[in-house]
Chain A
Amino acid sequence: MEKLVKQTIEKYGSDPNRLMDMLIDTQEQFGYIGPEAVATLAHGLQLSQVDVEQTITFYHFLSTKPRGKYAIYLNNSAVAHMFGRDAIKDAFEREAGIRFGQVTEDGLIGLYDTACIGMNDQEPAAIINNKVFTRLTPYRVREIIRHMRLGKSLDELVNESYGDGRNQHPNLKTMVSSNIRRKGMILSDNYVMGKVLREVLPGISPEAVIAEIKHSHIRGRGGAGFPTGFKWEFCRKAKGEKHYVICNADEGEPGTFKDRVILTEKPELVFEGMALAGYAIGGDEGILYLRYEYRYMKDYLESVLQSMRFQQLLGTNIGGIEGFHFDIRIQFGAGAYVCGEESALLESLEGKRGEPRDKPPFPVEKGYLNQPTIINNVETFATAVRIVENGGEWFTQFGTEDSTGTKILSISGDCMFPGVYEVNWGFNVEDMLDMVGAYDVQAVQVGGPSGTLIGPDEFHRTLGYSDLSTGGSMIIFGKQRNLLRDVVLNFMEFFIDESCGSCSTCRNMPQVLRNKLVKILNGKGVKKDLTDLREWSKTLLASRCGLGQTAANPIVSSLKNFRHLYEELLQKDIEFDEGFDMKASVESSCKYVGRVPKFHH
C-alpha cells in the first residue's frame, strides 16, 4: 500500500495543495484511507497526520474505514423521497442484509445516504463506485445486489440504455438523461466551438472584453448574483504573481442539476468561457472544481479538454494570439455542500477542510494560493462566450432591466416534464408551472432549500434578482405532499448534515430549530414555539457564510407563507409544553441503583 500511495504523491508533484486529489485516488484505490496511507501521505507531504485526517473526515466520500468493494450512495433529497426512496432503501437493506451506514461482513457492499446528487429529474438515484444509477425500482435494486454477489463487474451491473444526447458519448456512456426541454442562447445548437477565441478575441483587448461583459449587465448565475464584469475587472487590476480562473461546478444546492447538463451537452462552451476569462483577467491557468457526484464525467471532460488542446483552443498562443496561453485542469470535491461557497471551495482546492474564509480579502484579491482569482458558475462562463460573440448590447434585449439574459432552470418534483429549461429572466412562476405541466400545485421551492417556499398566491411573481432570485433550482410540490414533514424537515436535516461546524450559530441552531419542528409535527407544539422559530432563526444571520445565513430559510419561509400548516398542528389552550417526562427521566438511574421510583404527585 505504501508504495502505491507514494506513487500517488509523486503523481501530484508532492504538492500538499493537491492533497484532495491524492486522497480521492487513494480512496478509489483501496476503498478507504487507512492509518498506513495517512502516515505515508503525512510523511511525504511534510504535514502532520492530523492535517491529513481532518481533511479526510470533512468530506462525505472520503473515509478512514473501508466502505465496501461496492459503496452504494443513495440520494437523500426531498424529491427522491417523493419518488419512492423509502421502498428503494428498504430493498437495499433487505437484499444486502445490512442497514444504511454499514458494510456487509464480507466487505462486498456498503450502504450510505448522500445529499442531492443532481439527479432530481430521474429519481430515485444512487451512485455506485462513481457510476450513476437512475430511476431505481425495488426489483432493480435486488437484481443489482444479486449481480454484485455473483461477481459481475460494475459495467455488467448496468442493463439500462444510455441517456439522451451526449450521455451516449463513448467516454460517458451513462444512463443519466439530460432532459433538455427548452433551449436558449446557452443550450442552443448554433454554438460554434472556438469562434470567439479564434475570430473575436484577436480583434479586441482584454479590457474591451471586460467592457462588453459589464455592458451586458450579466450577474453571477450561481445564485448570489454579483455583477460578473466587475468581478473580472477587480481581478484584472489586482496585483499578484499569477491570476487564476476557477469554474465552480460544485452544484450542491438540492434540486439543481443544470450544471451537469451544461457540462454534458456544452462542455466546450464552458471551457471556452474559462479561456475567455483567462484572456480578460490575464491568467493562464484554469481549474474546473467539479463535485465528486459527477465523477462519472471525468474521462469525458478530460477528452473534451484534450480535443480542445489539439485544436489549439487551449494551450499556447490560443486563437493565434501571441502570448495568450491558457489551460484547464479538473479537480474534484469529495462531497461537501459548503464547498460551493467560493472561499470554502478555495480551501478545498488547496487540500484542506472546506471551511469558508473570512472576508475581506475577497478571492479577486487573494484567492487560490493567495493570488487574484475569479470564481464563476458553470453557466456564467458559458453565457460570457455568447456575450462576447454577439456583444453586450445584444445580450440586454433578453430578460429584464435588472436581470439580463437567460437562466437555465432545473425543474423537478410534481410535474409532467421535469428537466432543464432555459428561459429569459422575468418569467413568472405561473407560466413556468404551465410550461412543465404541473397541476394542483401546493407550493414551489424557488432556489433550493436556501431559497424560498412560495404558495399559489405568489405564483404571479417573476424570476429575477429583484423579485424571486434563483440559482436555478425549482422544486414543485403537489397538493398531496406534507410540506412540513416531507420538505421542510428534509431541508433542515440537509443543513444540519452539511454545516462545516465552524460557526457555533450554524453548528447548533439548525438542530434546535429542527427539534422544535419535530416537536410540532408530533403534536406537542404550542404557540410560543412558532415565535421561537421565527426569533431564534435570526441568530443564524451572524454566521460567516451563506450556508449558515440561509440555514433557517426552510422554516422561515414556510412559517411566513404556510403558517396555517403549523397552526393546525399546535395544541389548543396550552401555553407551555416542553415534553418533560419525570417518570421516563428517572427510570434508568433508579433501575441502576435498584430502587422503585415513587412520585409525590
Chain B
Amino acid sequence: MSKPVIATTSLAGCFGCHMSILDIDERILQLIELVEFNKSPVDDIKTFTKPVDIGIIEGGCCNSENVEVLKSFRKNCRILISLGECAIMGGLPALRNGIPVEECIHEAYIGGPTVQLNKDHILPNDDELPMLLDKVYPCHEIVKIDYFLPGCPPRADLIWDALVALITGDPMKLPYEVIKFD
C-alpha cells in the first residue's frame, strides 16, 4: 500500500496550529516515514497534484479566498479535519462577528487611532484582493468536516495521536489532559 497523502492549509488563522504540528518534534521524521505531504506550507507545494487522503484545515473563513481554498480541499481530500479553535468556532477573528463589516473596514483603514497615512481614505478594492465576508465562518458551515481537533492550538500529542489513529485505523485515545483547553 502506498503511503497516505496529507495536505494542510491555514485560512483565517495565525499559523499557531501549524507550529503545533511541528511541535511533534523528532516524531516528524517518523511522520515522514508514515505519510507523504502534498499541498501544504510544510513542503511549500502550492496546488494539489494528486488525490489526498487527509486534509488538515487551520483557521476559519473570513474572505472569499478562504472559502475557495476550503472548497478545493473538500474536493481533493477524502477526509477533512478542522484543526483548532479558529477552524472549529471562528476563534479570535470571529470577534468581529458582532460588528457590521463596514464598521470593521472603517476602523481598519480610516477611523482607527493608528491609521496615519491613509489621508485620501482609500479602501482596498482591487479585484486581485480577496473579498471580505460579512462575518467569519467556521469551516463546517461552508463544507462538510469529518473530524474536529479542539485547542488553541491543539497540543502536538493530540495531532499526532489523531493522525496515527486515522492512518492505522486504531481507536484514538483521548485522555483529559489532551483535550482540555481552558
Contact = CB atoms under 8 A, between A and B. Distances in A.
B179 to A, nearest CB: 15
Kindly state the interface size class of chain A when it binds its partner.
20 to 34
Nearest to B131: A586
A592 B131 contact: no
B28 interface: no
A241 interface: no
Given A592-B101, A592-B105, A586 B64 contact: yes
Contacts of A595: 125-127, 131
Given A582-B67, A588-B102, A600-B68, A593 B125 contact: yes
A598 interface: yes
Contact of B142 (A580, A584, A586): A580
B134 A586 contact: yes
Interface string A558-601: 00000000000000000110101010111111101111011111
A589 B141 contact: no
B123 A580 contact: no
Contacts of B105: 589, 592-593
Contact of A585 (B68, B100, B134, B144): B134
B112 interface: no
Contacts of A575: 144
A582 B65 CA distance: 11
A592 B102 contact: yes
A589 B131 contact: yes
Contacts of B101: 588-589, 592
B165 interface: no
Contacts of B64: 582, 586, 599
Nearest to B133: A585
Given A589-B101, A593-B105, A595-B127, A576 B143 contact: yes
A493 B135 CA distance: 25
Contacts of A598: 127
B37 interface: no
Nearest to B135: A585
Interface string B125-139: 111000111110100
Interface in B79-128: 100-102, 105-106, 123-127
A580 B142 CA distance: 6
A592 B135 CA distance: 14
A592 B68 CA distance: 22
Contacts of B100: 588
B41 to A, nearest CB: 22
Given A575-B144, A578-B141, A588 B125 contact: no
Contacts of B140: 578
B182 to A, nearest CB: 11
Contacts of B134: 584-589
Contacts of B67: 580, 582
Contacts of A600: 68
A574 to B, nearest CB: 11
B142 A578 contact: yes
Contact of B102 (A589, A597, A599): A589
14 contacts: A576-B144, A578-B142, A586-B131, A587-B134, A588-B101, A589-B101, A589-B102, A589-B133, A590-B125, A592-B101, A593-B123, A595-B127, A595-B131, A600-B68
Given A580-B141, A589-B133, A597-B131, 4 more contacts: A580-B142, A585-B134, A594-B123, A595-B127
Interface of B: 64, 67-68, 100-102, 105-106, 123-127, 131-135, 137, 140-144
